[in-house]
Amino acid sequence: MNATLKAPNISVAVQGLRTLDANTLPAAAKGLRAGLQHAAGLAQRKYLSGPRPDVLDVVTTRLRGSVTSDVQIEGGTVRGFIGSNVSYAPYHEFGFQGNIKVRAHTRAVDNLNRVEKVRVDKKGKRSSGLYRFDREGKVIGYKTTLLKLAASRGQLGDVSLEHRAEHERTVNYKGRPFVRPAVLESVNVIAAEVRKELAALAPKS
């Protein structure tokens, strides 16, 4: 038995099972399915739940909730797929280098206090980023807009608006992958689940 990992459509294939009986492929598929579910859960917990900036954090839960897996039997191969159907998932998984067009927009510029660049979690771990805090020091969110933040504090008078014309911006984003590292960390679990299901087919002595 061997397994292969391919990108960008992340797939794991278990091969070398053609000579075994008809129950082998469904058993391997069952094990692969369990292994990939483990990998999907790991992607959600470890790579899509913060803390920033090392990994992605939760903003709307849309990306984290979209990570799914599927398993198919094709001839003598059991193939599993894991990924996300969210349009911006590849941007984070594989990064992006190039120019993008930014539409004309109005942005808020503020003088609000308690906008901090370092967060210390309950375990004392520090992570940089533009975290926004309320008056009690509780984190409001990483991407809370200035207008919402000011409105929640009754400080709209401290916010001014700046209009920017359409322009190009150069992006050099290395990405913060969540599927590939989760699958690579789960390879042993995936293999163990497949072996367990295949072992269950062996006749009892």
Cα separation, 65 vs 89, whole angstroms:
12
How would residue 205 be classed by pLDDT, with cut points 50, 70 and 90? low
Q: What is the pLDDT of residues 42-94, one digit of tens each?
A: 999 999 998 888 899 888 899 999 999 999 998 888 899 999 999 999 999 99
pLDDT in tens, 132-172: 555 566 655 544 556 665 666 665 555 566 778 899 999 99
Identify the pLDDT of residue 114: 43
Domain-wise residue ranges, the chain: 2-95+173-199, 105-164
Q: Please check the confidence at residue 128 and state whether its pLDDT lies above 50.
A: no
Residue type, 86: V
Q: Residue 111 pLDDT > 70, yes or no?
A: no
Neighbours of 60 (CB within 10 A): 8
The reported pLDDT for the residue numbered 2 is: 42
Name the more confident of 104 and 148: 104
User: Where is pLDDT greater, at 136 or 39?
Assistant: 39
Distance CA 129, CA 13 (A): 39
Give alpha helix (H) positions in the chain: 24-42, 62-66, 89-94, 146-153, 179-185, 187-199
Assess whether pLDDT exceeds 50 at residue 9: no
Give yes or no for a contact between 84 and 12, defined as CB atoms under 8 angstroms apart: no
